[in-house]
Chain A
Amino acid sequence: MELALSPEDAAFRDEVRAFIADNYPAEMRVANPETDLSKEQMLLWHRILYRKGWLAPLWPKEFGGPGWSITRRFIFEQETTRAGTMPPLAFSVTMVGPVIYTFGNDKQKQKFLPRILSGEDWWCQGYSEPGSGSDLATVRTKAVRDGDHYIVNGHKTWTTLAQHADWIFCLVRTDPTAKPQSGISFLLIDMKSPGVTVRPIITIDGSHEVNDVFLEDVRVPVENLIGEENKGWTYAKFLLGNERTSMAGIGRSTRYIDRLKKIVKAEIPADDPAHLEFVKEIARIELDVLALEATELRVVAQMARGIDPGPAASLFKIRGTEIFQNITEPTHRAIGNYGLAIREHPVSANHFMPGRDYGHTASEKYLNSRKLSIYGGSNEIQRNIIAKAVLGL
């Protein structure tokens, strides 16, 4: 399904497509890019996009964005995800960058934005805490003013790729007496500061994506405060809005459905009754994707006319994640007995994996995708948002 494009936008689409084909690094085409690439490898595509001026589609031109229309931004997202490219680090480009250019002061913009674009700084997100998952407003990490510094103490968790990070953007409590949402500030912390410790969290697929980040008497210059003290919740919510709209994951789901079809064709003979079961199941998933894609295109068309979809974006998060989980499960099932095997992490050619190459990541993808309905605001929370803010219940 495609948007109806003007000749200029169609030409732009062709240009993006050709650029990806010509420039996407072969080195990044590994079995599971999300877990198998080193920091340097992940930055290869980032740097190529940077040089092309395409790194940060969302950013206004004055800060280094390409100045695209909503339609072109969507075309770019569609083409890059369909081609299976690894997107530049979201924490830097889609999360903290927009917060800095929207709410930061000039000095912060000059200091941080160019380093995000160039890939010099790697950012991670200090939101969740052991006691504050879905209920983010209860963060307990404390920042106490001491002259021209804050002294920060607390424990952040589920911090994705913090092992590579130069900076962490944190929600911290600056007014313990205020109501939960009112006493929070948005603070940028240098990961090299004394008192910052990163501890890996290994997940059920055996990979190391997330971490605990401990902050012990970390001295943070007051100049690293974004906007006003105790207004951090507003900035945090702004940022979560950015996170949700990209969660439909149509391109990714489409690619994984194609892969599932290929696996089913190779693994299960057409005269095996199980074959028809898979065919039906795949058709159901494809229809789910089609309906979500149609919804996405409708919303994009509305946005291009200036209509904000608002909290309905939660729909994309709910359906996008459920659909991807509904793809990884039958993919794991399609490889039959080989679904018992799982790659050892860190991944190395020295470890033997049985079965055909296409099945080697099926187990870990199946396990890893359990996180999708939990992170970024659990799907239960997303349903609450729609119930309250859309349906008015």
Chain B
Amino acid sequence: MDIQFTEEQELLRSSVQRLLRDQYGFDARRKIVTSEEGWSRKQWRVFAKLGLLGAPFSEDAGGLGGGPLSTMVIMHEFGRRLVIEPFVETVVLAGGLIEQLGSSDQKQYFVPDIIAGEKIWALAWTEKGARFDLASVTTSARRDGNDYVLSGEKTAVIAAPWADYLIVSARTSGHHHDRGGVSLFVVDRHAANLDLQSFKTIDGRRAAEISLRNVRAELLGGEGEGVAALEACRDRVIGALCAEAVGAMAELNATTLEYSKTRKQFGSTIGSFQVLQHRMVDMFIAHQEALSLMQHLSLSLSAGEAEISRLASGAKSKIGYAGRFVADQAVQLHGGMGMTDELNIGHYFKRISSINIQFGDPAFHMLRFAQLDAAA
């Protein structure tokens, strides 16, 4: 099941690698993260110029037609370098939803600006008390002429402080948990009566609590299609987040292995201690399995297979647990140094922790994997 990369995919990978090696070293990243804005528009434009922001879009939409496999290649490299810019939010989430649901007018209006690196997007689906349930929506949408008017609260929306547009899930009919009553809307992030309370996330990103009071919005897709669309969107973003997590695990393992060969205690390199050798073997195995599952998921997404949710949840759970194990042990084996803000190890740990929350934690997806078993 090993992926034989096409020439284009190899080219994409090597060009992302080269770019990040030259421009996204750990110090450069730290400057970006600690800057006032917390992300780099300049870097974003470089990504656009290299074609990364258009890579997964279909050729019809003005993209390069690379689909989920190009997302996988990019996100794996982004994971290795802890890229902070909102590729997942803008390209995978919003871009994916617009391609899937948007009218041809909407696609023509929004997609070129995403590909050109002109506009940033964020997806506001979570609400207080909803945990990871896509259908648990109380934000309301009321028809008003050709538009809709939204009121409610959205919570922990990653990249919202950076965004030009939001995609917001809101209820057009039904009660609290009704799947069929949720629709998606495009909202101008700077619209009147939309308030943001920003905060920093554990992995150095920015997120916000969002309050909407009669905010003008444009329907994306049909009324009531929101939950089904978000489910498909979640499967895609799981592919991207798993690739990122696996990239982060690869770096953690490589760095820890290297450290164990140079760090000396008790007159020997710590890598010569059997208990740590076995630990690193388990880290290696965890990464290998995660890599395989991640590739399997990306190939299935790429083939457009139906009924992919069970595999996506399984991968999110398994890779989540594997990532947590690898990150825990990478910190442990680095000792005190692994605890410092100065070293990159803790930053990988935090990104993996954050990925494990986004769109459902490993325990949530394990249950979902069980529930989606047709045989059960």
Residues of B within 8 A of A332 (CB): 353
Contact of B199 among A132, A351, A370 (CB under 8 A): A351
Question: What are 8 sample pairs from A and B whose C-beta atoms fall under 8 A apart?
Answer: A133-B265, A201-B340, A204-B331, A339-B202, A351-B199, A354-B156, A366-B353, A374-B331
Evaluate whether A135 and B265 lie within 8 angstroms (CB atoms) in the complex, with A268-B131, A340-B357 already known.
Answer: yes
In the docked arrangement, what's the CA distance between A131 and B197, Å?
44
Residue of A158, A277, A340, A373 contacting most chain B CB atoms (<10 Å) = A340
**Residue A386 interfacial (CB < 8 Å):** no
B77 to chain A minimum Cβ distance, whole angstroms, is: 23
9 cross-chain pairs, A with B, having the tightest CB-CB distances, nearest first: A204-B346, A135-B265, A337-B156, A202-B341, A336-B131, A342-B202, A340-B201, A135-B266, A354-B209
Residues of B within 8 A of A338 (CB): 155-156
Evaluate whether A204 and B341 lie within 8 angstroms (CB atoms) in the complex, with A133-B336, A352-B197, A374-B336 already known.
Answer: yes
Evaluate whether A203 and B339 lie within 8 angstroms (CB atoms) in the complex, with A274-B363, A336-B357 already known.
Answer: yes
Contact of B202 among A135, A367, A375, A378 (CB under 8 A): A367
**Residue A221 interfacial (CB < 8 Å):** no
B199 x A134 contact (CB < 8 A): no
A137 to chain B minimum Cβ distance, whole angstroms, is: 9
Residue ID in chain A nearest B131 by CB atoms: A336
CB neighbors of A among B111-169 (8 A)? 126, 129, 131-132, 155-156, 158
Residue ID in chain B nearest A272 by CB atoms: B131
Residue ID in chain A nearest B359 by CB atoms: A337
Contact of B265 among A134, A363, A375 (CB under 8 A): A134
Residue ID in chain A nearest B268 by CB atoms: A135
In the docked arrangement, what's the CA distance between A380 and B276, Å?
9
Residues of B within 8 A of A353 (CB): 199
Contact of B131 among A267, A354, A373 (CB under 8 A): A267
In the docked arrangement, what's the CA distance between A267 and B136, Å?
14
CB neighbors of A among B250-287 (8 A)? 264-266, 273, 275-276
**Residue B24 interfacial (CB < 8 Å):** no
**Residue A392 interfacial (CB < 8 Å):** no
**Residue A99 interfacial (CB < 8 Å):** no
In the docked arrangement, what's the CA distance between A205 and B341, Å?
8
Evaluate whether A277 and B357 lie within 8 angstroms (CB atoms) in the complex, with A204-B341, A374-B332 already known.
Answer: no
Residue ID in chain A nearest B157 by CB atoms: A337
CB neighbors of B among A350-387 (8 A)? 351-355, 363, 366-367, 370-371, 373-375, 378, 380, 383
**Residue B223 interfacial (CB < 8 Å):** no
**Residue A333 interfacial (CB < 8 Å):** yes
Residues of B within 8 A of A366 (CB): 353
Contact of B341 among A134, A203, A352, A375 (CB under 8 A): A203
**Residue B354 interfacial (CB < 8 Å):** yes
Contact of A340 among B156, B275, B339, B340 (CB under 8 A): B156
Binary flags per residue of B172-207, CB closer than 8 Å to A gives 1, else 0 = 000000000000000000000000011111110001
Residues of A within 8 A of B265 (CB): 132-135, 138
**Residue A341 interfacial (CB < 8 Å):** yes
A341 x B332 contact (CB < 8 A): no
- How many B residues face the partner with a CB closer than 8 A? 45
Contact of A380 among B264, B275, B336, B357 (CB under 8 A): B275
Evaluate whether A344 and B200 lie within 8 angstroms (CB atoms) in the complex, with A267-B131, A370-B331 already known.
Answer: yes
Residue ID in chain A nearest B156 by CB atoms: A337
Evaluate whether A134 and B335 lie within 8 angstroms (CB atoms) in the complex, with A340-B156, A342-B201, A354-B199 already known.
Answer: yes
Q: Which label, helix, strand, loop or mixed, suits the secondary structure of the B interface?
A: mixed
B34 to chain A minimum Cβ distance, whole angstroms, is: 11
Residues of B within 8 A of A373 (CB): 332
Evaluate whether A340 and B158 lie within 8 angstroms (CB atoms) in the complex, with A128-B336, A134-B335 already known.
Answer: yes
Residues of B within 8 A of A378 (CB): 332, 335
In the docked arrangement, what's the CA distance between A383 and B275, Å?
10
Residue ID in chain B nearest A371 by CB atoms: B339
Residues of B within 8 A of A333 (CB): 357, 361, 363
In the docked arrangement, what's the CA distance between A128 and B335, Å?
12
B335 x A374 contact (CB < 8 A): yes
**Residue B308 interfacial (CB < 8 Å):** no
Further 9 A-B residue pairs, CB within 8 A, beyond A202-B341, A370-B349: A201-B341, A203-B341, A204-B349, A273-B367, A333-B361, A340-B354, A352-B197, A370-B331, A374-B331
Residues of A within 8 A of B218 (CB): none
Residues of B within 8 A of A341 (CB): 156, 199-202, 207
Residue ID in chain A nearest B343 by CB atoms: A204
Evaluate whether A337 and B336 lie within 8 angstroms (CB atoms) in the complex, with A202-B341, A274-B131, A274-B364 already known.
Answer: no
In the docked arrangement, what's the CA distance between A134 and B276, Å?
14
CB neighbors of A among B325-356 (8 A)? 328, 331-332, 335-336, 338-342, 346-347, 349-350, 353-354
Residues of B within 8 A of A274 (CB): 131, 363-364, 367
Residue ID in chain B nearest A133 by CB atoms: B335
Residues of B within 8 A of A383 (CB): 275
In the docked arrangement, what's the CA distance between A246 and B184, Å?
55
A337 x B332 contact (CB < 8 A): no
Residues of B within 8 A of A78 (CB): none
Residue ID in chain A nearest B371 by CB atoms: A273
A382 to chain B minimum Cβ distance, whole angstroms, is: 12
**Residue A141 interfacial (CB < 8 Å):** no
Residues of B within 8 A of A132 (CB): 265
**Residue A163 interfacial (CB < 8 Å):** no
In the docked arrangement, what's the CA distance between A382 and B113, Å?
57
CB neighbors of B among A133-175 (8 A)? 133-135, 138, 157-158
